[in-house]
Chain A
Amino acid sequence: MRVRASLVRWWIAAPLAVIASMSLASCGSSGSGHGTGGEVLHVGTTYPIDSMNPFVAQSDYSYAVYEYVYPQLVQYNSKLQIVPDFARRWSVSPDGRTWTFHTVQNAKWSDGKPLTAADVAWTINEVMKYKNGPAGQWAGLLAHMIGASAPNPTTLIIKYSTAVANVLAQMQSMSVLPKQVWAPFFTGNGAKLKTFPNVPPTTGQPMVSGGPFELVKYKANQYALFKRNPNWWGPKPKIEGFGLQFYSSADAMVQALKNGQVDFIGEYTPPTAVAALRKSGFMVTTTPSISMKTFIINTNPHKTTHKELLNPVVREAIEYATDRQQIIKTAWLGLAQSGSTIIAPADGSWHDANIKPLPFNLAKANQLLNSAGYKMGPNGIRIADGHPMSYNVIFPPDERGTGDRTFQIMQTDLRKIGISITQQNMDDSATFNAISHAKYRTFDMAMWDWVPPVDPDFMLSVLTCAQLGNNSDSGYCNPAYDRMYAKQSTLIDTATRQKLIWQMQQYIYNAKPYIILDYPDIIEAHSTKWTGFAVAPVMGSVNSLSMQTLLNVHKI
């Protein structure tokens, strides 16, 4: 028996010893900046790069990568103001149709080739040729554009058919592509534009870059590694490089931070992890974002079923029965801001702070429904046009977790005013299909979200008739609103545009195709050994708006 017991101990001890020694050996060959003396930031995220090809990619982190490896004419600062980047200054003609940008002198791509205004003009003109085909994903950036030219290496002229209000915001989103790499794909029908993987070549050379970093290694759905671009024309980053590691599960990502396998976790850090991370000594940052959670009520004028939802009084009663404070406290653990309009407060002066959401008031909600003639049925559900006021709420996976708890709160409160709602779970693709089915005539309600760009044009566009079947998730269509949208998109003067955008927000708030529930905070955490993170209201510190974080971040 003694022999057997020792054998058992050996069987247990031996593998653990092997694992421990292998771990030590492995640790010896990893870690931040090992072997080079430089600092390497390890970033964890649950949102993988879906493609490195800018005509295919949709992921936030794909666009964050383009921010760091490709030049943009301008970028945002921490106050969400447009500031110079590859373009050092610019001017616009009095009619708003001609924009002139003056770009950096003596800039180079990472392969040593000159980077000039001609590269920008080439990118714009080539994309325009294919904007109704393989480059369709960029078409919105080139709206009303006639073409671009570069009379000299540091001057770029872009001409538009009409004045366009958000040219600078569009240019912030548009990457300048290296002609020496991309020219072979802008040929024929452009089919190769989308099949080019745009990853570091197998020769071990990094991808050609015009930003502060160059992509040196990429494995789909696993990681992307970046080193400083030696030919970068701007301020030298303090780190030698950084890596993005992709996690399928937020729990695993949080655990990796705790174990020291990553230094920083960005977007999609779960609110439930905040207390534990703080307790473990990590720096947790939360900041209001410009994204929003919406409770959608079908306001399509051609709706054929449950037409009582077209009655503004019903939508007003539903808002009175929405307890935003309880939702923020219970579902978000306090890590969200109360919702009001379709432009979030974090979007600065574009948000109309005068619009206040209706207070939670069940008595008022009941009073509104009573006065509108919706009598209470025998089972506590009101009757409208002979049918009970019971509705399905389409619910995509994006909303799971916090959205589930939000739904439960709303369901309980709405029941108290005689309205029954049922959660109808489906995936993203099926969600849009269910909402837009029969030209938006049949769905009743949905819960979803928006993570819009900084410039309000996109968020405002979502509610236009032109977006029915495209980006519209409410069925809302109103020609008066469309006219306001068209006008704001041509207003070059910021103050005038802001005034109209505030009117549009009020218009939509009154119409209530959305009840904006809340604006979730950006939550991220990092090791206290690092500093220099600049949190933005979109994506957090490592984002597609500016290069501030990865130019400044460094070890303490």
Chain B
Amino acid sequence: MRGADYVIRRIGFALLTIFIAITINFFLFRVLPGNVVSDLARVPHATPQLRHALTVEFGLDKPKWQQYLIYLRELVRGNMGISFATQQPVSRLLINDLKNTIPMVTIGTLGAIVVGIATGILSAWRRGSASDHVSTNLAIAFYAFPTQFLGLMLLILLGGLLPTSGMENPYAGVFGTQTTIARLQDIGLHLILPALTLLLTLYGEFTLIMRSSMLETLGEDYVLTARAKGLSDRRVVARHVVRNALLPIATLVALSIGWIVGGAILVEYIFSWPGIGQALWQAINQRDYPMLQGGFLVLAVSVVVLNLLADLAYFKLDPRISQ
């Protein structure tokens, strides 16, 4: 029963967090100076009538509380609204953006997790060795590099070998013929640089935390006992150290995966990747409230849900929590 209480409490807390996020999303962007009408009406041939028409069309002439209630009502109905800037349904725009973002960020993030854990284990295992020094310093360096700098360097260095922008070669299928395999290859090639940038940016954190956690675990009494029993070094590390050292990584992994949905604005910017990060950046600049509300709702829900799953996984992985 104690376990069920814990799960219910966590779920309730997650729902409350999402509701608060929805409310903050609504008011936060509206208290920013500027509004979408200023932006959209600053065009040649604009008239004062255009400003008025846009204000009425977007419902911005209504009191804020009324706008908020309409927003909540429509959200309950599953309607995220129409983008002010493009006049297209927000849900459709977000789905398109997410379809672009998730593969690239997933590959980059999962790659970072795998590489980070592997290099962290190897560093701790061979602590003090030359490979440990190289691995740790590289991890620190990549962790410290600004994403845009790293991306730009890769773009300049590998630009001749790999595509540097967008998700595909748009011309191939229209002004010629392109097989499905060729298209998949093309998309795969376009994925490499942004995913690699993300991988290199993220993996250092995993390396350092894994290494630190491993070193702490290697000093535990039960590890000494295992060694005293005559188990091989590899067996001790694999069976007794890595498993226990992975606990702190679980939280980091959950948080990282939660952010997958949020995209990687800088990576998307450098490689012109048409994902949700770029879409939200544009929406902020344009004060496109429906798009911002929808995008940040998806982001908030994904982070909260992934955190909830991490909590539940912890509950399973570490019996001390249930006690």
Contacts and interface: CB of A to CB of B under 8 A. Distances in A.
A256 B165 contact: yes
B161 A20 contact: yes
A397 B165 CA distance: 23
Nearest to B169: A30
B86 A255 contact: no
A86 to B, nearest CB: 20
B174 A132 contact: no
Most buried by A among B35, B41, B82, B165: B165
Given A222-B166, A258-B159, A453-B44, A137 B272 contact: no
B264 interface: no
Contact of A248 (B162, B175, B278): B278
B271 interface: yes
Interface stretch (A118-126, A213-221, A521-529): A213-221
Contacts of A252: 155, 164-165, 270-272
Interface in A327-365: none
A53 B87 CA distance: 9
Contacts of B188: 22
B87 A195 contact: yes
Contacts of A436: 38
B165 A133 contact: no
A245 B166 contact: yes
Given A258-B159, A259-B159, A261-B165, A248 B86 contact: no
A548 to B, nearest CB: 21
A186 interface: no
B34 interface: yes
Contacts of B285: 397, 427-429
A542 B314 CA distance: 58
Contact of B170 (A53, A243, A470): A243
B175 A38 contact: yes
Interface in B265-323: 268-272, 274, 278-279, 284-287
A500 to B, nearest CB: 21
A111 interface: no
A35 B175 contact: yes
A139 interface: yes
Contact of A219 (B40, B162, B169, B170): B170
A261 B274 contact: no
B164 A432 contact: no
Contacts of A453: 44
Nearest to B158: A19
Nearest to A429: B34
Given A197-B88, A246-B272, A470 B171 contact: no
Given A136-B54, A427-B34, A433-B35, A259 B164 contact: yes
A389 to B, nearest CB: 26
Contacts of B57: 133-134
A296 B35 CA distance: 21
Contacts of A137: 43, 45-46, 50
A248 B88 contact: no
A131 B50 CA distance: 8
A87 B161 CA distance: 49
Nearest to B168: A222
Given A251-B155, A428-B39, A471 B46 contact: yes
A279 to B, nearest CB: 15
Interface in B47-79: 47-51, 53-54, 57
Interface of B: 32-36, 38-51, 53-54, 57, 82, 85-88, 96, 152, 155-156, 159-167, 169-172, 174-179, 182, 185-186, 188-189, 192, 268-272, 274, 278-279, 284-287
In the A-B complex, the 5 residue pairs with the smallest Cβ-Cβ separation, listed nearest first, are: A140-B45, A35-B176, A429-B34, A136-B50, A430-B34
Interface of A: 19-20, 22-23, 25-26, 28-36, 38, 40, 42, 50-51, 53, 56, 58, 131-134, 136-141, 173, 194-195, 197, 216-217, 219-223, 225, 227, 240-241, 243, 245-249, 251-253, 255-256, 258-259, 261, 397, 426-434, 436, 452-453, 458, 466, 469-471
Given A221-B279, A429-B286, 19 more contacts: A29-B176, A29-B182, A30-B172, A137-B50, A139-B50, A195-B88, A217-B174, A221-B274, A222-B167, A243-B170, A248-B272, A252-B165, A252-B270, A256-B164, A258-B159, A426-B34, A427-B34, A432-B39, A452-B44
